[in-house]
Amino acid sequence: MHVLVLASRKGGVGKTTIACHLAVEAERSGAGPVAVIDTDPMQGMAQWWDSRTEETPALIKGTVAEAIPTLKKQGFKLLVVDTPPSIGPEVAEAIKHASLVMIPVQASPNDLRAVGSTVEVVNAAKKPLSFIINRVKPRVRLTTQAYEALSPHGTIAPLLADRTDYAAAMVDGLTAPELGGKGPVPEEIGALWEYTAKRLELTP
pLDDT digits over 97-131, tens only?
999 999 999 988 888 888 999 999 999 999 999 99
Question: What would the mean pLDDT of 77-85 be, rounded to a whole number?
Answer: 97
Helix (H, G, I), strand (E, B) or coil at 86: coil
Q: What is the DSSP letter of 158?
A: P
The domains located in the chain, with CATH, are 2-199 (3.40.50.300)
In which band, very low, low, confident or very high, does the pLDDT at 142 lie, cut at 50, 70 and 90? confident
pLDDT of residue 156: 95
Question: What would the mean pLDDT of 188-204 be, rounded to a whole number?
Answer: 90
- Stronger pLDDT, 181 or 124, i.e. the higher one: 124
- Decide if pLDDT at 203 tops 70: no
Give per-residue pLDDT as tens, 65-80: 999 999 999 999 999 9
Between the alpha carbon of residue 22 and those of residues 7, 48, 59, 113, 134, the distances in Å are: 14, 14, 14, 26, 14
CB 160 within 8 A of CB 18: yes
pTM strictly above 0.85 = yes
pLDDT of residue 137: 86
CB 184 within 8 A of CB 192: no
Question: What would the mean pLDDT of 137-150 be, rounded to a whole number?
Answer: 84
Question: What would the mean pLDDT of 151-169 be, rounded to a whole number?
Answer: 93
Give the contacts of 101 (CB within 8 A, at least 6 positions apart). 5, 6, 7, 95, 122, 127, 128, 129, 130
pLDDT of residue 145: 87
CB 71 within 8 A of CB 1: yes
pLDDT of residue 204: 52
CB < 8 Å & 24+ apart, contacts of 39-43: 39/63, 39/64, 39/81, 39/82, 39/83, 39/84, 39/90, 39/91, 39/94, 40/16, 40/82, 40/83, 40/84, 40/85, 41/84, 42/84
pLDDT of residue 94: 96
